[in-house]
Amino acid sequence: MKVIVDTCVWSIALRHNKNNIQDEKIISDFKKLIDDARVQMIGFIRQEILSGISSLEQFKKLKNHLDYFPDFPVQTKDHELAAEYFNHCRAKGIQGSHIDYLICAVSTNNKLSILTMDNDFKSYAKCIPILLYEG
């Protein structure tokens, strides 16, 4: 199964200081997914990864590395399902970002799992049918 890798995982993997056991485990899982060609990139995750890089040289270098991962197409049905998920979870008292719900919708509509360290996704999974990557 292909896997959407959330921005927080990319951020940890790209950092130079990987200090704790949880980071090492997620990075190991991430590397295995890359080796197995299972990582799915979404354009808005690419944008988040590249945002905030102050050095143009670093930006270009990272952009070139990310070119290895083509963007998975996001469809109108994904945006519609994301809004439905937002409304459903909100009615259950669970708040989340529009981007998180769009990740969930793309995941559901395309039978992709999600690799994340963001605990909000565990809350979403109680209300909506997403599959979190467990390694």
List the single range of 8-12, 15-19, 78-82, 120-124 with lowest mean pLDDT.
15-19
DSSP 3-state percent helix, strand, coil across the chain (nearest 5): 55, 10, 35
13-23 pLDDT, tens digit each: 988 665 677 78
List the single range of 10-19, 56-65, 74-83, 106-115 with lowest mean pLDDT.
10-19
| Beta-bridge mates of residue 113 | 3
pLDDT at 34 over 80: yes
Q: What is the pTM of this model?
A: 0.93
Of 9-13, 16-20, 102-106, which has the strongest mean pLDDT? 102-106
Q: How far from the centroid of its chain's Cα atoms is residue 8's Cα?
A: 7
Specify the pLDDT at position 18.
Answer: 58
Average pLDDT over residues 52-80: 96
109-134 pLDDT, tens digit each: 999 999 999 999 999 999 999 999 99
Average pLDDT over residues 86-110: 97
Q: Which residues contact 65 (CB under 8 A, 6 or more apart)?
A: none
Instruction: Work out the number of other CB atoms within 10 angstroms of the CB of residue 104.
Output: 27
